[in-house]
Amino acid sequence: MLTYREYLDYAERSLVRVQDDEPASQWQLIPATILAWSAIESFVNNMLDDFASLAPDTFQLHERSFLLENRLRFMNQGENIGQFVLEGKEYRRLDDKIFFLIAKSGGRDLTNVKGETLWQNFELFKDVRDSLVHPRKGKEVSITKEMVDGFIETSKLIIRLVSKNVWKKEVTF
């Protein structure tokens, strides 16, 4: 499995292959964007796995369902009648995972985080990435080398933000 550093490295390598005067090289912006996004996904998911690996009763059931990306279901029949159980997959949004990790680790106050430049950049990055991964005829995506350069930087800043708030330490790239 690739590490977040490797995803970022491959994103940067794709980006440097894009030549302004060579339209045929523009497609490299697509993998560069997706790889930069995957770097955050990898980092955040691995961090959730660190917590999920602890004894089950370390967390409340709803928190555990979040960590494991399982559905929480109330049973009204069978041997677990009257209880909540974890079952099936229920994927969570990356931004929700980030908020969960920072909030539960006693990190910074998130009240105004969405108004900050970093988060606005993250939202733009997310929209572009979603459009690339889930393409639709009516939704045109336009990306430039400068934008992707910014996505890679945003990816690093988000990873740093999570690391600093959860592990209380900086990561290096």
Partner 1 sequence: MEIIFNINAKHNSAVKTAVSQFLKTISPLESEHDMPIIVFQDGVKGSYYMKCSLLASDAANLCDLNAKLDVRNPESYRANRELLLNHATYRKMEADSSDGREFNDIIVEYNTDYHSETPLKVWGGQHRISAIKKGGQKKNRYHGFRIYFLLSTEQRTEVALISNTSISVSNDTFDRMVEETIFGNALRNWCRKVGFLNEGEDFPDTGSRTERMTVKRARSFIINFYLGKERGGKLTSDVLDRNVYEPYLATTGVTIDSRYDSIMKNTNILNDPALIEAGQKFFSLHDAQFKAVKSEKTKTKNMKAYRNKALIESVLTGWSYVAGLLQNHPNRLSNHYRLPKSNSKIPDPLNAEEMSQFKHDQDPPTYRGLGTRSALKDRQRIAQLFLAKSCEQEVLIDKTFINKAVSQTVGLIALSKGYT
Point out which residues bind partner 1 (CB under 8 A): 3-5, 42-43, 46-47, 49-55, 58, 103-107, 163, 166-169, 171-173
Least gap, CB of 52 to partner 1 (angstroms): 8
Residue placing its CB nearer to partner 1 in the complex, 68 or 141 = 68
Contacts of 113 (CB under 8 A, 6+ apart): 99, 119
Residue 46: what residue type? N
- What minimum distance in Å lies between the beta carbon of 43 and partner 1? 6
Min dist. Cβ of residue 138 to partner 1 (A): 38
Nearer to partner 1, 27 or 173 (CB): 173
CA distance 141 to 128: 7
**Cβ nearer to partner 1, comparing 26 with 105:** 105
Interatomic CA distance for residues 68 and 54, integer angstroms: 12
Q: Write out the two tokens for 142.
A: 């336009």
* Residue 70 or 105 having the CB closest to partner 1: 105
Task: Calculate the alpha carbon distances from 105 to 15, 95, 140 in Å.
Answer: 34, 15, 39
**What's the distance, Cα to Cα, between the start and end of the chain in Å?**
18
Nearer to partner 1 by Cβ, of 3 and 144: the residue is 3
* Cβ 109 to partner 1 shortest distance, Å: 12
User: Phi first, then psi: what are they for 35, rounded to 5°?
Assistant: -65, -40
